[in-house]
C-alpha cells in the first residue's frame, strides 16, 4: 500500500528541492519566504499527523491540540521565564508528548471513530482551558511579542524552520522504516493478527501517538518562531480538520504527501484568499475532483503511476 | 529537453513573483484592510469595506491627496481567523507596502498589532470595542469602546428607576472582562444589585436556559454583552419566556432586527451616534452616495471606516508630506496624529484621538422603536 520514497531518482529530487529552498531567500520577496516557512511548519504538522493516521490507521481527529500546546509551552517559556530560548525548544515537544501520553492513554481504550470522537472531546477540553485561563495563557488574546531575539527576522526564522523541518522529516522517515514503524503499519493493516503474533498493540499505538504529538509540538514552537505570537485558534478543532484535509489531499499513504497537501492549502488560503473571497470554493472544487479521480491523493497517484510503469 | 522545460517554467514563476513586489505605482498610497468578508460575520465586512471604498473613491475623485491616489486592498479573515489575518497582514506590509491598515474585531486587532508595531504600520480600528485595545502602540480606534459605552448606559438605567439588573454575556474574556471590571463594579458603586450573571456559549439560537435562571432573580433590566446575531436571539428568547423588561445590547442592525422582529421593543443600545439626517455637506455626500450605490443606508461601521479613509488618513498624509517625510511610513503617520489629534468626522464636529488609542466622539443611547434605532439621549464620551 505504501510507495517507497528513497531511490536514486527521488534522492536527487529531494536534494534538488532542498537546494532550491536554500537559495530562495536570495531570489524571492520576503513575503514568499514567510509563506514558505508557514508551509514547512504546517507540512511538518501534517506529516506528524500522518504518522498515526496514514501509518498507524488511527483516527487522530484533533491533532492540532498538540501543535497548540507546543506553541503555548514555547511562548510561555519565552515570556514567563528567563531561561535561554533553547530550553523552550526542548520544552515544547516534551509538553506536547506528555499531553499525547495522557490523551493517548485515555483514548487508546477505544478504536476507530470512537477513538476519534473521544480525542476531539479531550482536545476541546484543552482548548477551553487555554481559552478561559486568562491570567496564564492570555485567554482569547493569546500571547504576543514572543519572538526569539537571534532569529526574529523573516530570513533567519525561515532558515531555522527549514533546517528543523528537514531534521524532523528525516527522523520521522527513519521511524517509519524502523522495526517499530513496520510493526505500527502491520497493526494498522490487521491489529488482530498482530496481537496473535505477540505484538503489544496498545503499547505500540500509544508510542506512535506520543511520537506524533512530540513532532507536532516542534511545529508549534516553529510557528511561534516565525509569527512571534500564539492564540487559542492553534488548538481549535477546525485547524485539525484542515490538517487532516492536507493529508488526504497530498496522499495519506505517502510520506511526503501531507507536505504537498500543506503547500496546496496554505497557498490557496493565503494567495488565492487574498485576491478572492471565494478561495474555499476553489478548495472545494479541488477536493471534489481529488476524491473522484485521485482518492489516494496527489502523491499517492503519482507513486502508483511510477510503480506500475516500472 | 524535459528538464530544460521544467527549469524554464520554474525560472519564469520565480521572475513573476519577484516582479510582483516591484510593480507598485510610486504615487499610489495603498491602504490595507482586514475585514470578515465571508462567514457568519460577513455583514460587518460588507458594510466596513463599502464605507472604506467610498472614502477612497471620494478622495480620488477630488484629485487624490498630495499627489497620491488611494487604493484599498481588502483581505478576508473569514470567521475571525487570526492565522489568516496574520498572513494577510504580512502580505499587505511586505508586498503592498501598506503604511496604514484598517482593522476590525478585537481578536484580529490584538493578533496583528505586534506585527504592525514591529513593522511601523498605523492601524485604524473602526469596528472593535473591547477595552483591551487601549494602550497598544500603532493601534487607534474610532469606535467607542465598552469603557465609554457602559457608564452612560448604566446611569440611564439608574435614572429609569432600575435597581436590580441581570447580566448575560458571551463566555469568553471579551464578555467576562467588561462585566467583571466595568459593569459589576460601576453598578454596585451606584447602589444597584446584580441578581444573576450568566455566561453563554456563542452561536446558539436558544438561550432560554440562561435567561430562565436570570428571570428567577426578578431583575428590573437585563444587561447583555454578546456579539453578532447572539444579541438578537437573546432579545427574542427573553421575550419568549416573559422577560419583558428593558434590555441593553452593545450593537444593533437590520440583520438583527430581522431575527428579533417585534421583540426588539424596549431594547437600548449605547454607541456611536451617526445621524443619517445630518445637514453637514461632507456627511450628506457620504450618506447620499452610499444610499445611491448600495441601495441601503450606511451604519456606524460604514461611517467609521469612511471617516478613517476620507477624513483622518488624508489629513495625516498631508501633515507627513508637508514635513518632507514618506507617508507610507506608519511611524511618520503616527507622529502626525499628535500635531493635532482632532479630525473632522461625518458624525458632525470633530473626533478626538486620545493618548491610549481610544477616541472621543458623539455617542448616544438609542432605543429600538418599531424596529428602528431612535436616539433618546446624547452623551459626551468620557
Among A260, A165, A263, A269, which residue's Cα sits nearest to residue A222?
Answer: A165
B56-94 core/surface letters (b: 16 or more CB in 10 A; e: else): bbbbeeeebbeebebebbbbbbbebbbbbbbbbbbbbbb
Q: Please enumerate in sequence order all residues whose Cβ is within 8 A of that of B31, keeping only pairs 6 or more positions apart, or say none.
A: B52, B56, B70, B71, B72, B73, B98, B100, B101, B102, B309, B313
CB B40 within 8 A of CB B229: yes
- Would B6 be classed as within a structural domain? no
Which pairing describes strands B69-76 and B100-103: parallel, antiparallel, or unpaired? Answer: unpaired
Helix (H) or strand (E) holding A249: helix A237-250
Q: What digits encode the pLDDT tens for the residues B20-50? A: 444 444 489 999 999 988 777 888 899 999 9
Task: For residue B84, give how far its alpha carbon lies from the nearest alpha carbon of chain A (Å).
Answer: 7
Q: Count the domains in chain B.
A: 2
DSSP for A6-66, written as a single string? -SHHHHHHHHHHHHHHHHHHHHS-HHHHHHHHHHHHHHHHHHHHHHHHTTT------THHH
The verdict on B245 and B169 lying in the same domain is yes
Q: Which residues of chain A fall below pLDDT 50?
A: 1-3
Size of interface A-B (CB pairs under 8 A): 82
The verdict on B331 and B265 lying in the same domain is no
Task: For residue A219, give how far its alpha carbon lies from the nearest alpha carbon of chain B (Å).
Answer: 15
- Would A277 be classed as within a structural domain? no
- Would B19 be classed as within a structural domain? no
Q: CATH number, domain at B235? A: 3.40.50.2300
Q: Which residue from B76, B90, B114 is facing A273, i.e. has the nearest CB?
A: B76
Q: How far is CA A185 from the centre of its chain?
A: 19
Count Cα neighbours of B277 within 13 Å in the Cβ-side half-sphere: 2
Q: Which residues of chain B fall below pLDDT 50?
A: 1, 4-26
- Would A271 be classed as within a structural domain? no
The verdict on B108 and B55 lying in the same domain is yes
The verdict on B373 and B238 lying in the same domain is yes
DSSP class of residue A268 equals: I
The per-residue pLDDT for A294 is 78
The verdict on B195 and B263 lying in the same domain is yes
Task: For residue A288, give how far its alpha carbon lies from the nearest alpha carbon of chain B (Å).
Answer: 21
Cβ contacts (< 8 Å) between A282 and chain B: which residues?
Answer: none
- Would A280 be classed as within a structural domain? no
CB B103 within 8 A of CB B63: no
- H runs (alpha helix) in chain B: 2-22, 42-61, 82-94, 106-119, 146-159, 173-178, 184-189, 208-216, 230-240, 254-260, 281-294, 300-306, 313-322, 330-337
**A34 with B132: Cβ contact below 8 A:** no
Q: Please count the other Cβ atoms lying within 10 Å of the Cβ belonging to residue A287.
A: 14
Question: What spatial distance separates the first Cα and last Cα of chain A, rounded to whole Å?
Answer: 16
- Would B3 be classed as within a structural domain? no
Which pairing describes strands A143-144 and A229-230: parallel, antiparallel, or unpaired? Answer: antiparallel
Segments of chain A assigned E as strands: 143-144, 229-230
For residues A266 and B61, give the distance between their C-alpha atoms in angstroms, rounded to a whole number.
38
- Would A310 be classed as within a structural domain? no
- Would B1 be classed as within a structural domain? no
For residues A280 and A202, give the distance between their C-alpha atoms in angstroms, rounded to a whole number.
38
Residue where the block lists cell 455566561: B199
- Would A259 be classed as within a structural domain? no
The verdict on B244 and B374 lying in the same domain is yes
- Would B11 be classed as within a structural domain? no
The verdict on B36 and B131 lying in the same domain is yes
Q: What digits encode the pLDDT tens for the residues B237-277? A: 999 999 999 999 988 888 889 899 999 999 999 988 888 88
Q: Does A145 touch chain B (CB under 8 A)?
A: yes
Q: Nearest residue of A to residue B109 by CA position?
A: A141
- Would A118 be classed as within a structural domain? yes
The per-residue pLDDT for B228 is 80
Cβ contacts (< 8 Å) between A227 and chain B: which residues?
Answer: 86
- Would B14 be classed as within a structural domain? no
Q: What digits encode the pLDDT tens for the residues A236-295? A: 888 898 899 899 888 888 888 899 999 988 888 777 766 666 767 777 887 788 778 877
The per-residue pLDDT for A7 is 62
**B87 with A34: Cβ contact below 8 A:** yes
The per-residue pLDDT for B25 is 47
The verdict on B95 and B132 lying in the same domain is yes
B127 burial level (CB within 10 Å; 0-12, 13-18, 19+):
buried
The per-residue pLDDT for B20 is 42
- Would A301 be classed as within a structural domain? no
CB B107 within 8 A of CB A140: yes
Q: Count the domains in chain A.
A: 1
The per-residue pLDDT for B212 is 94
The verdict on B101 and B32 lying in the same domain is yes
Q: Which residues of B touch chain A, with CB atoms under 8 Å apart?
A: 10, 14, 17-18, 20-21, 37-38, 75-76, 81-84, 86-88, 90-91, 94-95, 106-107, 110-111, 113-115, 118, 132, 172-174, 176-177
For residues A250 and B350, give the distance between their C-alpha atoms in angstroms, rounded to a whole number.
55
**A141 with B17: Cβ contact below 8 A:** no
Among B180, B370, B167, B154, which residue's Cα sits nearest to residue B262?
Answer: B370
Q: Please enumerate in sequence order all residues whose Cβ is within 8 A of that of A111, keeping only pairs 6 or more positions apart, or say none.
A: A191
Q: Which residue from A29, A38, A228 is facing B95, i.e. has the nearest CB?
A: A29
- Would B118 be classed as within a structural domain? yes
The verdict on B371 and B241 lying in the same domain is yes
- How many separate helices (H) and strands (E) can be counted in chain A? 15, 2
Cβ contacts (< 8 Å) between B86 and chain A: which residues?
Answer: 227, 229
The verdict on B66 and B103 lying in the same domain is yes
Tell me the residue range of the domain where B123 lies: 26-144+278-361
Cβ contacts (< 8 Å) between B6 and chain A: which residues?
Answer: none
Q: What digits encode the pLDDT tens for the residues B266-314? A: 999 998 888 888 888 999 999 999 999 988 889 889 999 999 999 999 9
Angle (CA) A274 A279 A285, round 5°: 160
- Would B356 be classed as within a structural domain? yes
For residues A261 and A263, give the distance between their C-alpha atoms in angstroms, rounded to a whole number.
5
Cβ contacts (< 8 Å) between B94 and chain A: which residues?
Answer: 29-31, 34
Q: Which of B15, B87, B128, B136 to mutate to test the interface with A (most CBs of A within 10 A)?
A: B87
Tell me the residue range of the domain where A171 lies: 8-236
Count Cα neighbours of B171 within 13 Å in the Cβ-side half-sphere: 12
The verdict on B370 and B242 lying in the same domain is yes
Cβ contacts (< 8 Å) between A32 and chain B: which residues?
Answer: 17
- Would A78 be classed as within a structural domain? yes
Cβ contacts (< 8 Å) between A145 and chain B: which residues?
Answer: 114
Q: Which of A79, A124, A274 to mutate to test the interface with B (most CBs of B within 10 A)?
A: A274
DSSP class of residue A141 equals: G
Amino acid at each position: 500500500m505504501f510507495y517507497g520514497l528513497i531511490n536514486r531518482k527521488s534522492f536527487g529530487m529531494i536534494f534538488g528541492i532542498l537546494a532550491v529552498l536554500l537559495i530562495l531567500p536570495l531570489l524571492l520577496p520576503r513575503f514568499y519566504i514567510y509563506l514558505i516557512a508557514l508551509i514547512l511548519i504546517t507540512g511538518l504538522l501534517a506529516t506528524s499527523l500522518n504518522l498515526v493516521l496514514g501509518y498507524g490507521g488511527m483516527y487522530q481527529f484533533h491533532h492540532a491540540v498538540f501543535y497548540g500546546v507546543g506553541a503555548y509551552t514555547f511562548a510561555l517559556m519565552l515570556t514567563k521565564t528567563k531561561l535561554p530560548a533553547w530550553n523552550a525548544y526542548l520544552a515544547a515537544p516534551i509538553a506536547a508528548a506528555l499531553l499525547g501520553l495522557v490523551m493517548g492513554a485515555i483514548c487508546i481504550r477505544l478504536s476507530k471513530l470512537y477513538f476519534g470522537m473521544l480525542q476531539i472531546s479531550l482536545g476541546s477540553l484543552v482548548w477551553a482551558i487555554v481559552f478561559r485561563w486568562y491570567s496564564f495563557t492570555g485567554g482569547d488574546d493569546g500571547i504576543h511579542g514572543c519572538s526569539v531575539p537571534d532569529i526574529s527576522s523573516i530570513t533567519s526564522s525561515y532558515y531555522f524552520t527549514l533546517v528543523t523541518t528537514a531534521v524532523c522529516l528525516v527522523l520521522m522517515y527513519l521511524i517509519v522504516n524502523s522495526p517499530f514503524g513496520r510493526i505500527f503499519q502491520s497493526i494498522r493493516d490487521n491489529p488482530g493478527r498482530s496481537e496473535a503474533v505477540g505484538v503489544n498493540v496498545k503499547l505500540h499505538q500509544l508510542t506512535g501517538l506520543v511520537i506524533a504529538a512530540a513532532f507536532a509540538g516542534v511545529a508549534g514552537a516553529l510557528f511561534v518562531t516565525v509569527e512571534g505570537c500564539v492564540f487559542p485558534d492553534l488548538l481549535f478543532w477546525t485547524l485539525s480538520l484542515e490538517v487532516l484535509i492536507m493529508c488526504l489531499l497530498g496522499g495519506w499513504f505517502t510520506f511526503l504527501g501531507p507536505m504537498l497537501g500543506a503547500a496546496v492549502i496554505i497557498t490557496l488560503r493565503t494567495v488565492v484568499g487574498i485576491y478572492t473571497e471565494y478561495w474555499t470554493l476553489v478548495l472545494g472544487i479541488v477536493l471534489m475532483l481529488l476524491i473522484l479521480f485521485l482518492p489516494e491523493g496527489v502523491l499517492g497517484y503519482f507513486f502508483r503511476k511510477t510503480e506500475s510503469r516500472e | 529537453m524535459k528538464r530544460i522545460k521544467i527549469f524554464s517554467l520554474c525560472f519564469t514563476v520565480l521572475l513573476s513573483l519577484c516582479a510582483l513586489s516591484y510593480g507598485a505605482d510610486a504615487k499610489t498610497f495603498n491602504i490595507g484592510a482586514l475585514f470578515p468578508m465571508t462567514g457568519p460575520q460577513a455583514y460587518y465586512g460588507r458594510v466596513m469595506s463599502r464605507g472604506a471604498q467610498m472614502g477612497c473613491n471620494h478622495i480620488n475623485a477630488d484629485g487624490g491627496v498630495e499627489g497620491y491616489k488611494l487604493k484599498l486592498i481588502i483581505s478576508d479573515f473569514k470567521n475571525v481567523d487570526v492565522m489568516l489575518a496574520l498572513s494577510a497582514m504580512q502580505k499587505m506590509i511586505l508586498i503592498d507596502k501598506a503604511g496604514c491598515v484598517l482593522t476590525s474585531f478585537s481578536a484580529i486587532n490584538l493578533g496583528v498589532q505586534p506585527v504592525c508595531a514591529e513593522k511601523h504600520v498605523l492601524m485604524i480600528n473602526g469596528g472593535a470595542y473591547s477595552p483591551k485595545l487601549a494602550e497598544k502602540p500603532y493601534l487607534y480606534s474610532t469606535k467607542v469602546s465598552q469603557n465609554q459605552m457602559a457608564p452612560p448606559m448604566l446611569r440611564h438605567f439608574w435614572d429609569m428607576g432600575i435597581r436590580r439588573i441581570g447580566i448575560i454575556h458571551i463566555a469568553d474574556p471579551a464578555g467576562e472582562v467588561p462585566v467583571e471590571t466595568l459593569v459589576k463594579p460601576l453598578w454596585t458603586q451606584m447602589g444597584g444589585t446584580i441578581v444573576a450573571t450568566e455566561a453563554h456559549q456563542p452561536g446558539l439560537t436558544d438561550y432560554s436556559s440562561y435567561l430562565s435562571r436570570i428571570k428567577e432573580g426578578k431583575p428590573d433590566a437585563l444587561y447583555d454583552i454578546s456579539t453578532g446575531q447572539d444579541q438578537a436571539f437573546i432579545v427574542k428568547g427573553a421575550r419568549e419566556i416573559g422577560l419583558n423588561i428593558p434590555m441593553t445590547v452593545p450593537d444593533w442592525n437590520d440583520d438583527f432586527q430581522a431575527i428579533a422582529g417585534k421583540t426588539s421593543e424596549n431594547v437600548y443600545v449605547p454607541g456611536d451616534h451617526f445621524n443619517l439626517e445630518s445637514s453637514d455637506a461632507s456627511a450628506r455626500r457620504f450618506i447620499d452616495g452610499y444610499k445611491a450605490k448600495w441601495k441601503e443606508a450606511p451604519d456606524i461601521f460604514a461611517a467609521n471606516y469612511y471617516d478613517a479613509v476620507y477624513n483622518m488618513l488624508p489629513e495625516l498624509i498631508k501633515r507627513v508630506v508637508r514635513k518632507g517625510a514618506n507617508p507610507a511610513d506608519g511611524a511618520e503617520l503616527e507622529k502626525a496624529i499628535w500635531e493635532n489629534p482632532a479630525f473632522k468626522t461625518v458624525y458632525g464636529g470633530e473626533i478626538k484621538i486620545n493618548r491610549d488609542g481610544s477616541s472621543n466622539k458623539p455617542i448616544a443611547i438609542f432605543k429600538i422603536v418599531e424596529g428602528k434605532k431612535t436616539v433618546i439621549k446624547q452623551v459626551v464620551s468620557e
